[in-house]
Structure 1
Amino acid sequence: MGWRRITAISLAAVLVAGGAVALGFFATHAPASVATALPGATPDPGSPATHTPGDRPTPTDAARPAPTASPTPIALVPRFDKAARSHDDPTSIWVVVDKDRPLQPADYTPPDLVTVPVPHVWEPQLRREASDAVVALFAAFTAETGLKLQSQSSYRSYPTQVAVYNDDVSAHGQAVADTSTARPGTSEHQTGLAIDISALPASCSLDACFGATPQGTWLAHNAWKYGFLLRYPEDKVAVTGYAYEPWHFRYIGVDLATEMHTDGVTTLEEFFGLPAAPTYH
């Protein structure tokens, strides 16, 4: 073997040995992402390099965004249906009768009149539903106050209203009569839904001072609970066309009476958006 051959073999051995040393040093000191790619290197289980392509890590629950809560639906309160009953049909308990809205027909007679079993001046008749409400109203008043009420006047037929109106005209003249007594065919009493109430024993009967009596005060504050409306308030003469009558109550049903009380509206004309009726046309 010549020197040249020995030298070449020795040099090759040195290069191989040196490369192994260098490779070992690089594997020891290089970053894990690189070192693990080297031949013979042991992968680091915690290193991202251990994941194969397409094998993405699953995010933890903490990393996931919290689901957005669905908004709570707003409960809609149904509006009071002002057209649920007729304002024109005389058989409707919501019929509006005033100087501009006469009954149709003018000589209308209610179909279900009954005698109201309460104390009275003149024997009272009303439509059955209104009669039952009056009985409950009178009983509640006596239970709460220990006092008593009586019916002064209730249903009046067309012929009776003719006589009542003519008597008022004869006594006070038509101009005055028209502020206190309805002309025939325009009276709420003819509907069988209106009642004039007085104290028992009598005190301020059919007089404005009735409003200041215990009976008048209680009725003004509580009649709505039984479906009644104080039909001719003191401050609404320009709307109703009649002077203050704290004794005159009109049955309209508990639902409508409650709605009007809640809204603070005191006349049927205003509540239903009808024209005021201060005079006859």
Structure 2
Amino acid sequence: MAKKVDPGLNAMASKATDSSKPPLKAPAKYELGFIVNKDHKLSPSYKPALKAIPGTSKQMTPEAVAAFSKMRKAAKKDGISLTAVSGYRSYARQKVLFAYYSRQLGAKQAARVSARPGTSEHQTGLAMDVGASSGRCVISKCFASTREGKWVAKNSHKYGFIMRYPKGAEKTTGYAYEPWHFRYVGTAIAKDMKSKKVKTLEKYYTK
């Protein structure tokens, strides 16, 4: 079960902290499809119910694990072997990671490629980094050019996943292109975004 959070955090994620940005008609926090980004943060104590992804030590929410298992099975039928590179990350773990990237790249550049603690989708248990079982182009932009990367980009919506940080959307999402980072939002939202050709949740909820 998710840990208890402050009542204020259950309010609708309908307004960005930056008043110049359009309001988001998004689901309430902690509901499937809700927004997590630099303007919509998670409580440090938030931790969803988790389940291990079969064959790995990685964890996601039970519904996300089930969806990934279906997607991986479908990919295998097409001769594509997928793996979960990462799944859930705690607030504390994200704090360590962001500090590391800040030391390596500087805070400004780190903020383009890593999330500050409380703003990472990985803390929701609904986000994952997908990779090829071969290990080729893991957590790299070249993943997009692999057979695995192309398959996931084309088919992930059928299983409720979206590429969360698509190419050319950094001004909208706040993050650089990550063709390996996928967010589970459920098939209703994922398929609707695909049919409307909307690439980001931010755009989807301001339409």
2:190 is matched with 257
Render the CA deviation track for 1:150-208: whole Å, top value 9, x for unaligned. Answer: 11110001111111111111111111110011000000000000000111111111111
1:138 aligns with 2:72: yes
1:89 aligns with 2:26: no
> 2:27 is matched by which residue type in structure 1?
H
Q: CA–CA distance in 2 between the matches of 1:98 and 1:106?
A: 14
The answer (yes or no) to whether the contact 1:133–1:226 under 8 Å persists in 2 is: yes
1:109 is matched with 47
Using the TM superposition, give the Cα deviation of residue 94 of structure 1 relative to its aligned residue in structure 2, in angstroms: 1.1
Gapped regions of structure 1 (runs ≥ 5)? 1-82, 275-281
Q: CA–CA distance in 1 between the matches of 2:63 and 2:27?
A: 18
The answer (yes or no) to whether the contact 2:26–2:205 under 8 Å persists in 1 is: no
Backbone CA RMSD of aligned residues: 1.6
2:181 is matched with 248
**Identical counterparts, % of pairs:** 39
95, 108, 114: which one aligns with 1:162:
95
The answer (yes or no) to whether the contact 1:127–1:193 under 8 Å persists in 2 is: yes
Q: CA–CA distance in 2 between the matches of 1:220 and 1:213?
A: 11
167, 175, 178: which one aligns with 2:108:
175
The answer (yes or no) to whether the contact 1:116–1:124 under 8 Å persists in 2 is: yes
Render the CA deviation track for 1:108-133: whole Å, top value 9, x for unaligned. Answer: 111x2111114x4xx21000000100
* Stretches of 4+ aligned residues off by more than 2 angstroms: 85-88
Using the TM superposition, give the Cα deviation of residue 102 of structure 1 relative to its aligned residue in structure 2, in angstroms: 0.9
The answer (yes or no) to whether the contact 1:161–1:184 under 8 Å persists in 2 is: yes
2:132 is matched with 199
Q: CA–CA distance in 2 between the matches of 1:214 and 1:255?
A: 26
1:78 is matched with none
1:98 is matched with 37
2:7 is matched with none
The alpha-carbon distance between structure 1 residues 135 and 157, as it changes in their structure 2 partners (threshold 3 A), is same
Q: CA–CA distance in 2 between the matches of 1:95 and 1:147?
A: 30
1:236 is matched with 169
> 1:224 is matched by which residue type in structure 2?
H
2:112 alignment partner, SS class: coil
Q: CA–CA distance in 2 between the matches of 1:147 and 1:240?
A: 29
Using the TM superposition, give the Cα deviation of residue 88 of structure 1 relative to its aligned residue in structure 2, in angstroms: 3.6
The answer (yes or no) to whether the contact 1:196–1:249 under 8 Å persists in 2 is: yes
Q: Normalised by the size of structure 2, how large is the TM-score?
A: 0.85
Q: CA–CA distance in 2 between the matches of 1:107 and 1:126?
A: 17
1:125 is matched with 59
Using the TM superposition, give the Cα deviation of residue 136 of structure 1 relative to its aligned residue in structure 2, in angstroms: 0.5
The answer (yes or no) to whether the contact 1:107–1:185 under 8 Å persists in 2 is: no
Using the TM superposition, give the Cα deviation of residue 86 of structure 1 relative to its aligned residue in structure 2, in angstroms: 5.6
State which structure, 1 or 2, has the greater radius of gyration over its C-alpha atoms: 1
> 1:159 is matched by which residue type in structure 2?
A
